[in-house]
Amino acid sequence: MGTDIHGFVEFRNKEKNEKEWHSFSYDELFLRRDYVMFYILARVRSHAPHSFKPKGKIPVDEISACVKEARMFYIEDDIRYSSLRSCTLEDALEYKKKYGCRIYKRDKKPYLVDDPDYHTDSWLSFSEYEQALKYYTDYTKKKPFVDYVAVYEIMKVYENENYETRFVYFFDN
């Protein structure tokens, strides 16, 4: 069994002083398994001389709806008629007890729980991600997979149009 990365490029407009983050895509970016890159991004599964310490989960009210949708389950009373990304309150309480998952409330009622299969949440700013690609090239003496370069290029396009960007990611086993 291997580890996979689940990544999202998020952005917000600097000129409008936006507080809300938006996702570049409606679903996660499918990035190839590269354990050296995983280690550089969040110290997962390999080794390299330079890496970024994982920053942890971004507060739920500070992530884009797409990241929230991918990272969490909705807590439903009856999941027979719910979306695929839902669970019962009993399941959510078990995830909290067994895996330390956070349960989020809205109007004092539990409505979201962390997906227990995901771990090592983090994010990098544009300049940090640029540095991660340099770390990779310096260490491996080769270019990163095109998938990871594409993430950089997406971020660069938004940055050039006066948006703040970040690469948000987490892993599964």
Q: How far apart are CA 113 and CA 100, in angstroms?
A: 10
53 and 135 in a single domain? The answer is: yes
Q: Is the pLDDT of residue 2 over 90?
A: no
Q: Is the pLDDT of residue 17 over 90?
A: no
Is the residue at 120 inside a domain?
no
Residue 83 lies in domain: 68-114
145 and 102 in a single domain? The answer is: no
Q: How many structural domains compose the chain? A: 2
pTM for the full predicted model: 0.91
105 and 147 in a single domain? The answer is: no
53 and 138 in a single domain? The answer is: yes
Is the residue at 164 inside a domain?
yes
Is the residue at 30 inside a domain?
yes
42 and 75 in a single domain? The answer is: no
Is the residue at 121 inside a domain?
no
56 and 130 in a single domain? The answer is: yes
Burial 90-121 (b: 16+ CB within 10 A, else e): ebbbebbeeeebebbeeeeeebbbbbbebbbb
Q: How far apart are CA 125 and CA 142, in angstroms?
A: 23
Q: Is the pLDDT of residue 168 over 70?
A: yes
pLDDT for 102? 93
* pLDDT tens sequence across 119-167: 999 999 999 999 999 999 999 999 999 999 999 999 999 999 999 999 9
Residue ranges of E strands in the chain:
4-13, 22-23, 29-30, 72-75, 86-87, 103-106, 109-114, 118-125, 163-172
Residues 6+ apart with CB under 8 A from 15: 162
15 and 96 in a single domain? The answer is: no
* pLDDT tens sequence across 64-122: 999 998 999 999 887 776 667 899 999 999 999 999 999 999 999 999 999 999 999 99
Q: How many CB atoms lie within 10 A of CB 153?
A: 10
Is the residue at 101 inside a domain?
yes
Is the residue at 12 inside a domain?
yes
142 and 160 in a single domain? The answer is: yes
